[in-house]
Amino acid sequence: MTADSIGTRWLNRSALRTWRVPHGRVMVVLAGLFLLLVIGWAAFPGLFTGGNPTAVNPLATLRAPLQGYLLGTDQYGRSVYTELVYGARPALEVGLLSTLIGGVIGSAIGVVGGYLGGWVDMLVMRLIDILLALPGLFLALIFIAALPPTLENEILAIGISAVPGFARVMRGQALQVRSRLFVAAATVVGVRRRVILWRHVVPNCAAPAIVLGTLNIGTAIVIAASLNFLGLGPSAGVLSWGGLISSGQGYIDHDWWISTFPGLLVTLLVIAVSVLGDRLRDAMEPSSA
């Protein structure tokens, strides 16, 4: 291999790296801006639309986008854009609160089992293995079917379905931390187990839990949309994004915007959260980059 060919390959790799970095930053910026927009919808919906999401207007049914309404209207004459704006709050509530519930419970189970080991770890992980055999959506269906169809119960069901994933990951992290020298040193000098757990093991397991929680928000939003699509979500109040997709099924051939825009919004939100989660993982765990 000649020096010229080596130099050419090095220049090509350098050019590729300089292209990838801005490209990745642009994706992160776009994802952040889109997420801020959705958060703005959830926090201050009245600033983004002056319409009433539940107001029925028979004279404006099934209007196409840009015909007096930005994203058109549904079969009841309601503005699709207004429904999407007001549906952002329950979507984010489900994503954040269910992840918080599943993350706290699952992380606690995984860290305690991984650190204590022995029969505690064996018992806990066998139960987790049973739950992991069921897909997250199916596990949420089991719990939501036995509960009244409210937003709180939906959050609880999705949060419980996230527990096995957190427990599995955090158990592995706790096993790694337990094998480190500073934990062994603290054990030798007689520091109590619960002190070691709270002061050393838990802080060193926090970063993976935060990253996993960020990525799980998108999964929770998709599961919530799926439950609402199946008619198992909250039945009162503003239609959720999954409910909007379901309500437009019978009109998809001609009035495609009723289902298309909610589905596109869910997709973009999940992609935005995933991009930011990947960036957070690279920042908190450089070895994974």
Can you give the pLDDT at residue 206? 85
Extract the residue ranges of the chain whose pLDDT is less than 50.
Answer: 1-21, 289
The position carrying tokens 């589905």 is: 263
Alpha carbon distances (Å) from 55 to 78, 147, 185, 208, 247: 6, 29, 66, 45, 16
Can you give the pLDDT at residue 237? 67
Reported as a single tens digit per residue, the pLDDT across 112-128 is: 888 888 888 888 888 88
Can you give the pLDDT at residue 123? 86
Secondary structure letter of residue 73 according to DSSP: B
Can you give the pLDDT at residue 232? 83
Can you give the pLDDT at residue 238? 65
Q: Whole-prediction pTM value? A: 0.84
Catalogue all structural domains in the chain, each as residue range(s) with its CATH number: 31-55+65-288 (1.10.3720.10)
Reported as a single tens digit per residue, the pLDDT across 133-173 is: 878 888 888 888 888 888 888 999 999 999 999 999 999 89
Helix count and strand count (H, E) for the chain: 11, 0
Can you give the pLDDT at residue 38? 95
Cα 61 to Cα 78: distance, rounded to the nearest angstrom: 7
Which residue in 51, 73, 78 sits closest to 62, CA to CA? Answer: 73
Can you give the pLDDT at residue 18? 41
Can you give the pLDDT at residue 150? 85
CB 268 within 8 A of CB 34: yes
